[in-house]
């Protein structure tokens, strides 16, 4: 298969600036496998979206994201907001703290193996989620490729957003775990109203996840039955659990065994919305994006990814 010339979009701050340190070796590996490419560094929040859109306008039909879940989300948003989304391929070299999307796709975490896939012929046409939410009083729409959630997961991301970026991915992950445990102590479950495919349900919940991929949060196997190409989102609801009960559930998330817990509900859906009178945060692909009210839907077969 002829591989087109690629635009490589690099987030040097990803993984505690490990991408910046490793980029010379990553670039050399890309050259070694025969990938023809130009590259550009992103310089802040949202910049990778702009770079991706401009690259497509310049004629590139192969974009490679080098970074974490947030970088991949931005590059994917740039592709999906363009007029050539169906003709553009996304490649991935993970370099973030969590790398949940790559994990869900089965893409190796080490850059040498990940780079070797970039000139291969394996492609996967995946579904993409759409989340509509509130940010600074405005209704905003964003695509997500791996997952989005409301409640405790988003609260943990808010609590970890000020962690200094110069630490290594391992140290950053440990910081996030610590901040997550601290957030759990103060967190209070939320009363929300779910509108899921013509059914209304009023519940108290700690977290609601809309999963396109299986993994989130650095290895938590939250949606074991999720598939990227089934035209469905896996909605995982953790009900009204206390902090100690949630602490017991937490370790089971890494094996996918939480789905047998009586207060955990899993349902496959194509769309849904969540309303609440409380302040409830929303995250997508590991990035805090806004607040409820929020709605979700799936777009089948929307993005081609190298795997």
Task: List the one residue out of 217, 211, 210 whose CA is nearest residue 194.
Answer: 210
Task: List the one residue out of 70, 92, 95, 99 whose CA is nearest residue 18.
Answer: 95
Give alpha helix (H) positions in the chain: 14-32, 47-57, 69-80, 100-105, 111-117, 152-160, 169-186, 243-252
Q: What string of DSSP letters covers 96-124?
A: SS--HHHHHHT--SSHHHHHHHTTS--EE
pLDDT at 176 exceeding the cut of 80: no
* Assigned token pair, 49: 């979206």
In the numeric block, the tokens 């999963």 are attached to 211
Residue 169: the pLDDT is 62
* Assigned token pair, 218: 């650095």
Average pLDDT rounded to a whole number, residues 85-103: 93
Q: How distant, in Å, are the alpha carbons of 22, 38, 74, 202 from that of 212?
A: 29, 30, 16, 24
pLDDT at 180 exceeding the cut of 90: no
The string of pLDDT tens digits covering residues 26-49 is: 999 999 999 999 999 999 999 999
pLDDT at 178 exceeding the cut of 90: no
The string of pLDDT tens digits covering residues 162-175 is: 655 555 566 665 65
Instruction: Using CB atoms within 10 Å of the CB of residue 211, give its burial: 0 to 12 exposed, 13 to 18 middle, 19+ buried.
Output: buried
State the Cα–Cα distance between residues 52 and 41, nearest whole angstrom: 11
State the Cα–Cα distance between residues 62 and 140, nearest whole angstrom: 27
pLDDT at 205 exceeding the cut of 80: yes
Residue 69: the pLDDT is 96
The string of pLDDT tens digits covering residues 40-91 is: 999 999 999 999 999 999 999 999 999 999 999 999 999 999 999 999 999 9
Look up the pTM and report it. Answer: 0.93
Average pLDDT rounded to a whole number, residues 248-275: 96
């Amino acid at each position: 298969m002829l591989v087109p010339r690629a635009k490589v979009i690099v987030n040097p701050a990803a993984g505690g600036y490990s991408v910046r340190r490793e980029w010379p070796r990553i670039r050399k590996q890309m050259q070694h496998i025969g990938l023809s490419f130009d590259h550009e560094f992103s310089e802040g929040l949202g910049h990778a979206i702009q770079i991706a859109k401009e690259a497509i306008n310049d004629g590139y039909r192969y974009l490679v994201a080098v970074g974490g879940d947030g970088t991949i989300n931005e590059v994917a948003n740039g592709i999906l907001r363009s007029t050539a989304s169906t003709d553009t391929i996304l490649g991935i070299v993970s370099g973030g703290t969590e790398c949940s999307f790559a994990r869900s796709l089965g893409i190796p975490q080490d850059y040498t193996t990940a780079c070797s896939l970039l000139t291969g012929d394996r492609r996967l046409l995946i579904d993409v989620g759409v989340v509509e939410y509130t940010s600074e009083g405005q209704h905003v729409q964003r695509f997500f490729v791996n997952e989005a959630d409301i409640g405790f997961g988003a609260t943990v991301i808010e609590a970890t957003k000020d962690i200094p970026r110069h630490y290594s991915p391992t140290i950053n992950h440990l910081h996030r775990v610590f901040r997550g445990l601290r957030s759990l102590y103060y967190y209070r479950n939320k009363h929300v109203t779910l509108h899921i495919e013509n059914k209304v349900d009023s519940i108290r919940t700690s977290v609601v996840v809309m999963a396109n991929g299986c993994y989130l949060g650095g290895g938590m196997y939250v949606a074991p039955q999720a598939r990227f190409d089934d035209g469905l989102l896996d909605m995982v609801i953790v009900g009204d659990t206390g902090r100690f009960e949630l602490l017991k559930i937490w370790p089971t998330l890494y094996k996918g065994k939480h789905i047998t817990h009586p207060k955990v509900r899993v349902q496959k859906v194509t769309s849904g919305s969540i309303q609440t009178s409380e302040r409830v945060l929303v995250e997508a692909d590991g990035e805090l994006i806004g607040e409820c009210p929020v709605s979700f839907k799936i777009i089948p077969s929307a993005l081609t990814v190298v795997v």
